[in-house]
Amino acid sequence: MDTSKRLADWKEQYFPDLLSSGYGVTSVEDPQYNCIAWAAGEENIDTFWTPFVIGGGYYWPDDKLPRDARVETFVKLYEIEGGFVKCVNNNGDLEDGLEKIALYVDANSQVTHAARQKPDGSWASKLGDWEDIEHRDVQGVGGLNTLYGTVAQFLQRPRGFKKQI
């Protein structure tokens, strides 16, 4: 992981544990997609997944899911769109043959962020409209004093999963 490319200092302040845990920027800013789409796979860089906006490049499977930010709604989203299921042990440990997603929640238990585990055990995040980053620790973008809150749920699927159309 190349840790030489960093966020602007004013962005880093929103993630106080990111610098000490190790991270690197992997893309330029791009408002076209968000962390929710990105976590399901790199192929989703042309869509912004959200339950709160309809149309205009935003996506939500409204015929299948409520328009809310509850953890169970997002668990179902990732099951429908990416074949993910809840991790039995609900942890972010690297496991052979599995790809994982971490769902973060705020103090009101509303989903705020999703990160995807890389094959080496590090994590990839899309920071809102900002850059994509890789971070060594799943908690690097989380914590009580961050924009994203804490990890509430881990999901998993077989590595190399391809959605059936």
Q: Distances from the Cα of 135 to the Cαs of 14, 20, 68, 105, 126, in angstroms?
A: 15, 10, 28, 18, 11
pTM for the structure as a whole: 0.93
Token pair 């997002």 is found at 74
Tens of pLDDT, residue by residue over 10-67, are: 999 889 889 888 999 999 999 999 999 999 988 888 889 999 998 888 999 978 899 9
Q: Is residue 126's pLDDT more than 90? A: yes
Q: In the chain, pLDDT over 90 holds for what percent of residues?
A: 72
**At 144, is the pLDDT very low, low, confident or very high (cuts 50, 70, 90)?**
confident
Contact residues for 57 (Cβ-Cβ < 8 A; gap 6+): 32, 47, 48
User: Around 18, how many Cα atoms within 13 Å sit in the side-chain half-sphere?
Assistant: 29
User: Would you list the domain boundaries of the chain?
Assistant: 9-158
Confidence at residue 114, expressed as pLDDT on a 0 to 100 scale: 97
Mean pLDDT confidence for 68-97: 95
pLDDT digits (tens, 9 = 90+) for 70-80: 999 999 999 99
Cα–Cα distance between 29 and 99 in angstroms, integer? 25
